[in-house]
Amino acid sequence: MPFEILMKKGDLKCMYYVYILRSIKFVNKIYTGSTSDLKQRLKSHNEGINKHTRKFRPWKIIWYAAFSTRKQAEKFEKYLKTASGIAFKRKRLI
């Protein structure tokens, strides 16, 4: 029986993602964020909707991680933006 048939509507948990983008034109430009829809968020960055990333378009995803709760994702995103998180990101993730 196909997987879709076994799942009831609403059974699928929403995942939350922390992601790191790198500008294709400006290689030294990195952006860290979180979202529940990774594909749509990358699209909005590349369309210039986000004022913080607009001038460094286009972007590509270089790393991401999935979390089961928004709180976990936001906490990790916040950590990656601290001094020790930036060092961790540079050494281990990018």
Domains of the chain (ranges; CATH) run 13-93 (3.40.1440)
Instruction: Return the amino acid letter for 49.
Output: I
Residue with tokens 């601290």: 82
What pLDDT score does 32 carry? Answer: 98
Q: Of 21, 13, 20, which is closest to residue 76 (Cα–Cα)? A: 20
The encoded tokens of residue 59 equal 């972007």
Residues in the chain: 94
What pLDDT score does 60 carry? Answer: 97
Note the pLDDT tens digit of each residue in 40-60.
999 999 999 999 999 999 999
Q: Is the pTM higher than 0.75?
A: yes
